[in-house]
């Protein structure tokens, strides 16, 4: 709805419309959670309820404050906050068994989600609790992705600042190496490295960090070249500051915000990459749960009979990647407008 039109809507009407849509959305969401329907219909009802409730809350807040409020980043931040806290505190939470098959011999298998209090998200073919596996899978996926993006940002940022500051021969050599890495398709590079290294969390971090380095080098180099021509750098040089001091004190603080905003977006790609490798059996392997190998459990005809085996970990994966993308785009618009516009 255009801004010129919506601003003319009376405040009471906006509040009433927002409250009505919110109530309808909550009703649809509750219906999708508890109604004795097939999984696909329940998922559609729940999605429709979330979208309707979100639209209603947006209009309600707009009517109360008389200004547009983008709630999506706040919802994404809330999801990531809850997920991270739950993942960190998973060992202290009253969760059912998530990896020891011998401890679940008497547990029912393939329970549907939202039907049983003991297993709110159901169980898999071995009777392991899906909620516990998703939270422990979040620990693995987030830890691998955050460590990889940290290593890639620090290493790539440092190399990019050096290349952008010295230029000439140093820039040419680093540019050739960066373009060589970018010339290899990421998935092929990941599969090749994963087959050479033993599957482990440490090796996954190293492989994914290598995937992050080239883009960080190019971004850091471009921003360094831009800030290299600023007055504060010339002033530092005129005052006799050394090259290392100029890079550390003048350039890095200005290059860091665009790198951090890019890193938030890169995290989502690394989560998908880790899930893809685990799905193919090249990443973290069972019994350690990750979202990728949980989705792989639905192979061999299981998906047709028990779609929740894919829907549950797939929902965690989708919501997490979506949240990081939204927050990353917001960060880029604030700290790196040129990158966000492109």
Higher pLDDT, 60 or 217: 217
- Which pLDDT score, from 0 to 100, does residue 6 have? 46
Task: Encode pLDDT of 47-92 as tens digits.
Answer: 888 888 878 787 777 777 766 667 788 889 999 999 999 999 999 9
Model confidence at 204: pLDDT above 90: no
Model confidence at 314: pLDDT above 50: yes
Q: How confident is the model at residue 305 (pLDDT cuts 50, 70, 90)?
A: confident
- Which pLDDT score, from 0 to 100, does residue 21 have? 81
- Which pLDDT score, from 0 to 100, does residue 154 have? 93
- Which pLDDT score, from 0 to 100, does residue 110 have? 87
Span 179-204, average pLDDT: 78
- Which pLDDT score, from 0 to 100, does residue 322 have? 92
Percent of the chain with pLDDT over 90: 17
Check if the beta carbon of residue 15 is closer than 8 Å to that of residue 64.
yes
Check if the beta carbon of residue 5 is closer than 8 Å to that of residue 13.
no
Give the predicted TM-score (pTM) of the model: 0.82
Cα-only R_g, the chain: 24
Longest Cα pair distance anywhere in the chain, in angstroms? 76
Higher pLDDT, 131 or 8: 131
Mean pLDDT, the chain, rounded, equals: 83
Task: Encode pLDDT of 249-268 as tens digits.
Answer: 888 888 888 899 889 889 99
Q: How confident is the model at residue 3 (pLDDT cuts 50, 70, 90)?
A: very low
List Cβ neighbours of 206 (8 Å cut-off, separation of 6 or more).
148, 151, 197
Sign (positive or negative) of CA dihedral 283, 85, 324, 212: negative
Q: Which of 39-53, 257-271, 275-289 has the highest mean pLDDT?
A: 257-271
Q: What is the DSSP letter of 116?
A: -
Span 220-242, average pLDDT: 83
- Which pLDDT score, from 0 to 100, does residue 9 have? 58
CB atoms within 10 A of CB 89: 10
- Which pLDDT score, from 0 to 100, does residue 342 have? 45
Sign (positive or negative) of CA dihedral 22, 23, 29, 32: negative
Higher pLDDT, 19 or 134: 134
Q: How confident is the model at residue 340 (pLDDT cuts 50, 70, 90)?
A: very low
- Which pLDDT score, from 0 to 100, does residue 85 have? 93
- Which pLDDT score, from 0 to 100, does residue 67 have? 67
CA 209 – CA 270 distance, rounded (Å)? 9
**Residue written as tokens 């419309």?**
17
């Amino acid at each position: 709805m255009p801004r010129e039109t919506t601003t003319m809507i009376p405040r009471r009407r906006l509040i009433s419309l927002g409250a009505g849509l919110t109530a309808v959305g909550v009703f649809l969401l509750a219906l999708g959670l508890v109604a004795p329907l097939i999984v696909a219909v329940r998922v559609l009802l729940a999605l429709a309820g979330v979208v309707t409730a979100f639209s209603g809350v947006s209009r309600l807040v707009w009517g109360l404050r008389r200004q547009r409020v983008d709630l999506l980043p706040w919802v994404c931040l809330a999801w990531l906050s809850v997920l991270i806290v739950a993942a960190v505190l998973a060992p202290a939470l009253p969760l059912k068994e998530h990896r020891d098959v011998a401890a679940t011999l008497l547990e029912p298998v393939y329970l549907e989600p939202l039907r049983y209090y003991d297993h709110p998200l159901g169980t898999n073919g071995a009777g392991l609790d899906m909620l516990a596996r998703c939270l422990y899978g979040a620990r693995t996926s987030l830890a691998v992705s955050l460590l990889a993006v940290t290593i890639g940002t620090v290493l790539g940022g440092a190399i990019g600042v050096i290349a952008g500051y010295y230029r000439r021969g140093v820039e040419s050599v680093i540019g050739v190496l960066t373009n060589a890495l970018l010339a290899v398709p990421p998935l092929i590079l990941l599969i090749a490295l994963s087959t050479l290294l033993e599957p482990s969390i440490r090796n996954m971090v190293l492989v994914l960090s290598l995937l992050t380095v080239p883009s960080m080098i190019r971004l850091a180099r471009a921003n360094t070249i831009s800030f290299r021509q600023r007055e504060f750098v010339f002033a530092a040089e005129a005052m006799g500051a050394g090259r290392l001091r100029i890079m550390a004190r003048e350039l890095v603080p200005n290059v860091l915000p665009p790198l951090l905003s890019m890193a938030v977006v890169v995290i989502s790609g690394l989560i998908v990459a880790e899930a893809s490798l685990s799905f193919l059996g090249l990443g973290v392997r069972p019994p350690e749960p990750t979202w990728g190998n949980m989705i792989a459990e639905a192979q061999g005809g299981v998906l047709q009979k028990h779609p929740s085996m894919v829907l549950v970990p797939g929902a965690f994966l989708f919501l997490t990647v979506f949240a990081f993308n939204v927050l990353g785009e917001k960060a880029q618009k604030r700290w790196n407008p040129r990158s966000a516009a492109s």
